[in-house]
């Protein structure tokens, strides 16, 4: 009796397992897209990564051979093995050994030791082929240490929809998270580390959106914001309640910039008297408020039609360069945006560019502007900037002396920026020396 019931249970359990498995699989298939959207990281780690890792391991040898990264054995060895091996296949070419494949939140990375005679650039060139072969969005190859390269792959474009952090507060002084980097990390603009910025991009490429994100982050902080918008104030007047001064034409801009230079020189006198090298060395109570000067459309300041305008443009250019030279130590920071930033705007532009260490290049209409923004720092970044499409508004290439990165700003709309500026209008420092009407 007992044995009969065991037998019938034995006969039925596989069908139960099959039913449960079928339900689970069909449930996963049905709920998959929703789960993937809701828990992208968990989905990638549990389902995407194992499949891609398997693919990387199984196609590594042919991929290396196809990219010219395999090395054939010495001919003598092949001949000897042909003689001794009785027609057996000659030894396979040597390929670089595949390191451990390690997952990240949206991709994976691995280290590869180079074979004798190989250089990291050989692998950099093979990056696009690796991305195609593994079915991932992009592969970046960097030198890890002598003889070893790091291959990092991102499964999907992390900049397609960067997640906006939920909390918005004052945070660290002069430090703002404005978007996301391609690595998935936060894109942070830290004015104390890099005091002056040049933001370029064609029309509707995302310059003002980036400025919105910057203003939204700075508005809750104890800083003064000053706007120069010679497009008649169309862009920056949104934040007027939070601005300590706003110039909307070139004449006002020249006066405002001259007043800013005076303010900077006054601060210099204060620092010299206190025997400190910058305002951060002053006691907190005596420290003047940091001033962030935002210039939207630099070309409006520099382009001239008449002789009179030429003098104004020159005065504006000289004042900006002086601010950039002196400002970092004295708490005056520049954020300069423009569609076209070329030497045709005047000799001052090249000198100003040299002072603006932070560079952000959105999609550009002419290669000259990308070159102006990135070329002197990093020629590789130029190609990446020229590959940005109009659909990817807000995407930009960031360059500094150490290298370059792709990033995308958070979409802070004009309405958001406007309401944030109004919300923090009570924090607007009153810098009466800068009021354009009174200047
Ligand atoms: N980070 C982003 N994410 C998604 N969409 C964006 C982003 N940045 C910009 N856009 C889209 O692109 C549009 C144009 O952006 P924005 O106004 O910032 O361009 P701009 O470079 O300032 O142009 P202009 O030179 O004409 O002033 C925005 O209205 C928005 O729809
Ligand atoms: Mg704009």
Nearest CA owner, ligand 1 atom 18: 206
- Our answer on whether the CB atom of 339 is closer than 6 Å to any ligand 1 atom is yes
Q: From the CA of 351, how far away is ligand 1's center (Å)?
A: 28
Q: How far is the CA of 248 from the centre of ligand 2 (A)?
A: 14
What's the pLDDT score for residue 178? 93
What is the pLDDT, as a whole number, of residue 253?
Answer: 94
- Tell me the domain boundaries of the chain: 14-154, 175-434
pLDDT of 275: 94
Residue 204 CB less than 6 A away from ligand 1: yes
Q: Is 368 exposed, middle or buried (0-12, 13-18, 19+ CB in 10 A)?
A: middle
Q: To the nearest whole number, what is the mean pLDDT of the chain?
A: 86
Taking the CA of residue 211 as reference, the ligand 1 atom at the shortest distance is 18
**Annotated binding residue at 231?**
no
Q: What is the mean pLDDT of residues 22-32?
A: 82
Q: Render pLDDT for 350-389 as a digit per residue (tens, 0 to 9).
A: 889 889 999 999 999 888 888 888 876 677 788 888 889 9
Q: Residue 309's pLDDT band (boundaries 50, 70, 90)?
A: confident
Residue 331: CB within 6 Å of ligand 1?
A: no
Confidence check: pLDDT of 7 > 60: no
Q: Which of 174-178, 284-288, 302-306, 428-432 is predicted least confidently?
A: 302-306
State if residue 206 touches ligand 1 by the CB under 6 angstroms criterion.
Answer: yes
pLDDT of residue 1: 44
Closest Cα to atom 25 of ligand 1: 203
Summarised one tens digit per residue, pLDDT across range 246-305 is 999 999 999 999 999 999 999 999 999 999 999 999 999 999 999 999 999 899 888 887
Q: So what's the pLDDT on residue 85?
A: 57
Q: Which ligand is nearest to the CA of 364?
A: 1
Tell me the CA–centroid distance for residue 373 and ligand 2, in Å.
Answer: 17
Least confident range of 54-58, 162-166, 171-175, 432-436:
162-166
Average pLDDT on 22-42 reads: 81
Q: Is the beta carbon of 428 within 6 A of some atom in ligand 1?
A: no
205 touches ligand 1 (CB under 6 Å): yes
Q: With a 6 A CB cut-off, is 409 part of the ligand 1 pocket?
A: yes
- Nearest ligand, CA of residue 159? 1
Q: What is the pLDDT of residues 180-217, one digit of tens each?
A: 988 778 899 999 999 999 999 999 999 999 999 999 99
Q: What spacing in Å lies between the alpha carbon of 358 and ligand 1's midpoint?
A: 20
Q: Which atom of ligand 1 is nearest to the CA of 235?
A: 27
Structure confidence at residue 170 (pLDDT): 64
What integer pLDDT is reported at residue 386 of this predicted model? 87
What atom of ligand 1 comes closest to residue 231's alpha carbon?
A: 27
Query: What is the rounded average pLDDT of the residues 24-38?
Result: 80
pLDDT digits (tens, 9 = 90+) for 142-163: 888 999 999 999 888 777 777 6
Identify residues whose C-beta is under 5 A from ligand 2, the ion.
Answer: 207-208
Is domain 175-434 annotated with CATH 3.40.50.300? yes
**Position 91 pLDDT exceeds 60:** yes
Asked whether residue 419 carries a pLDDT value surpassing 70, the answer given is yes
Is the minimum distance from the CB of 178 to ligand 1 under 6 angstroms? no
Report the atom number in ligand 1 closest to the C-alpha of 205.
21
Please tell me whether 201 is known to bind a ligand: yes
- How much of the chain, in percent, has pLDDT values that exceed 70? 88
Residue identifier of the C-alpha nearest atom 4 of ligand 1: 411
The answer to whether 205 is a known ligand-binding residue is: yes
Q: Is the pLDDT of residue 10 over 60?
A: no
Q: What is the pLDDT of residue 437?
A: 65
pLDDT of residue 398: 92
143 is in an annotated binding site: no
Residue 87: predicted pLDDT: 59
Task: Please tell me whether 203 is known to bind a ligand.
Answer: yes
Q: Per-residue confidence at 242, pLDDT binned at 50, 70, 90?
A: very high
């Amino acid at each position: 009796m007992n044995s009969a019931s065991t037998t019938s249970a034995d006969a039925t359990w596989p069908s139960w397992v099959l039913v449960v498995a079928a339900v689970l699989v069909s449930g996963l298939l049905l709920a998959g897209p929703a789960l993937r959207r809701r828990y992208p990281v968990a989905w990638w780690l549990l389902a995407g990564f194992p499949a891609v890792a398997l693919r990387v391991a199984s196609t590594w040898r042919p991929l290396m051979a196809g990219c010219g990264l395999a090395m054939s054995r010495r001919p003598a060895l092949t001949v000897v093995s042909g003689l001794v091996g009785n027609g057996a296949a000659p030894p396979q070419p040597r390929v670089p050994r595949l390191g451990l494949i390690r997952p990240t939140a949206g991709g994976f990375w691995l280290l590869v030791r180079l074979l004798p005679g190989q250089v990291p650039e050989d692998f950099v060139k093979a990056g696009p082929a690796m991305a195609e072969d593994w079915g991932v969005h992009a592969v970046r190859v960097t030198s890890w240490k002598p003889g070893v390269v790091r291959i990092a792959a991102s499964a999907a474009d992390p900049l397609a929809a960067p997640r906006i952090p939920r909390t918005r507060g004052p945070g660290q002084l002069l430090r703002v998270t404005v978007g996301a980097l391609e690595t998935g990390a936060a894109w942070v603009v830290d004015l104390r580390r890099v005091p002056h910025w040049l933001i370029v991009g064609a029309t509707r490429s995302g310059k003002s959106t980036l400025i919105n994100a910057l203003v939204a982050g700075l508005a809750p902080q104890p800083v003064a914001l000053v706007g120069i918008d010679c497009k008649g104030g169309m862009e920056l007047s949104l934040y007027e309640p939070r601005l300590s001064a706003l110039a909307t034409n070139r004449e006002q801009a020249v006066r405002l910039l001259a007043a800013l230079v005076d303010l900077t020189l006054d601060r210099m006198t204060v620092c010299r008297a206190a025997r400190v090298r910058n305002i951060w060395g002053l006691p907190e109570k005596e420290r003047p408020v940091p001033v962030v000067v935002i210039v939207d459309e630099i070309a409006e300041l520099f382009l001239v039609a008449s002789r009179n305008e030429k003098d104004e443009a020159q005065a504006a250019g000289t004042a900006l360069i002086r601010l950039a030279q002196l400002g970092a130590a004295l708490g005056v920071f520049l954020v300069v945006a423009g569609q076209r930033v070329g030497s045709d705007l005047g000799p001052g532009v090249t000198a100003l560019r040299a002072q603006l260490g932070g560079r952000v290049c959105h999609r550009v209409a002419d290669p000259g502007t990308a070159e102006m923004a990135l070329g002197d720092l990093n020629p590789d970044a130029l190609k990446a900037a020229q590959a940005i499409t109009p659909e990817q508004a807000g995407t930009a290439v960031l360059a500094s002396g150490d290298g370059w990165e792709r990033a995308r700003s958070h979409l802070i709309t004009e309405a958001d920026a406007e309401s944030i500026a109004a919300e923090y209008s009570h924090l607007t420092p009153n810098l009466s020396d800068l009021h354009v009407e009174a200047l």
